[in-house]
Amino acid sequence: MKSELNELAAFAIVATERSFTRAAARLGVTQSALSHTIRGLERRLELQLLARTTKSVTPTSAGAALLMSLSPALEQIDRALNEVRIARDRPAGRLRIAVSKSAAVLVLLPKLPAFAAAYPEVVLDVSTSTGVVDLVGGGFDAGIQLEEFIQKDMIAMRVTQELRLAAVASPGYFATRSPPLNPRDLSAHNCIGLRLPGGPYRWEFEKDGACVATTVTGSLVVDDTSLAINGALAGLGIALAYEEQVSGYIDQGKLIRVLEDWSPSFPGFFIYYPDRRHQSAALSALIRTLRLP
């Protein structure tokens, strides 16, 4: 197929220029090589496409008919290639991004207004999911996720500082209960569970080198920290979420933080993508917008 397209394109240029000399110059090949290509095409088609003399080259009736049919298709291919080159050089087109629900809120949404204003020709097509995502198999250009959920063969760039989790509940919840002083005290509390693709998330804590992972129980299990926060605000129990998500509620007195001295920091969110030698301008623009200075 590639060989036939090359031959047809070469024929179209010779037929249009009506000169092997000018056509060879446009194609950057020798006249003899170009003549050999055309003879091969004619031999395969068993038709003479070009009438040649020492002074001129003219399409035969068969060659003229072929050129008339070829020209629109070759022009369409040329337009398609130009569009691809534009996508390479100028941020434009659709960019498919797979992000965790928390990353969408903490990382993507705050930067979207500036990105949209700077790159109005880019359409961000965002899908939210929890856990590991097969970017290549899913047809995604990039993803935003915690480091532990990123496939090892991806290129990853940090887009947040280190994060901490915060255990919180409403003042109303603690009105009749004592706040937990140790992660093991959570067994006596109604906790809002967080479900991951691999199963329930075991709440992890650390203090003075001692690590504790506990499986909490309660009347509500969700798959997103935003839902857990809403449950905590409604007085349903203790929720675990990112500090950035609950700091405003804590300052307003709507939530009370517990076990703060047991909350270690961990690597934050990263934008990640396959190792591509030729990266689109749209993806490069998104990476520049999101990555840390």
| Residues 97 and 48 both lie in one domain | no
Confidence category of residue 174, pLDDT binned at 50, 70, 90: very high
Q: What is the average pLDDT value for the chain, to the nearest integer?
A: 90
Q: What percent of the chain has pLDDT over 90?
A: 64
CATH, residue 111: 3.40.190.10
Q: What local confidence, expressed as pLDDT, does residue 130 receive?
A: 78
* Cα Rg of the chain (Å, integer): 31
φ/ψ of 186, rounded to 5, equals -65, -20
- Do 181 and 245 reside in the same domain of the chain? yes
Q: What range does the domain containing 53 cover? A: 2-89
- pLDDT score for 56: 83
pLDDT of residue 4: 79
Q: Is the pLDDT of residue 285 over 70?
A: yes
What tens digit of pLDDT does each residue of 218-276 get?
999 998 899 999 999 999 999 999 999 999 999 999 999 999 999 989 999 999 999 76
Residue 123 structure tokens: 């359409």
Which whole number is the average pLDDT over 127-134?
85
Give the span between the Cα atoms of 214 and 132, in whole angstroms.
23
**Amino acid 148: pLDDT:** 85
Are 181 and 227 in a shared domain? yes
What's the pLDDT at 85?
A: 67
Name the domain count of the chain: 3
Sign of CA dihedral 263, 264, 265, 269: negative
Same-domain pairing of 50 and 144: no
Q: What is the CATH number of the domain that holds 186?
A: 3.40.190.290
* Percentage of residues in the chain having pLDDT higher than 70: 96
Check whether residue 143 and residue 272 sit in a common domain.
yes
| Angle, vertex CA 234, rays to CA 228 and CA 237, nearest 5 | 60
What CATH code is carried by the domain that includes residue 12? 1.10.10.10
pLDDT at residue 87 greater than cutoff 70: no
Shared-domain flag, residues 157 and 169: no
End-to-end CA, the chain? 47
Average pLDDT over residues 168-182: 96
Q: Is residue 99 domain-shared with residue 190, that is, in the same domain?
A: no
Same domain (yes/no): 168, 110: no
Claim to verify: residue 134 and residue 154 sit in the same structural domain? yes
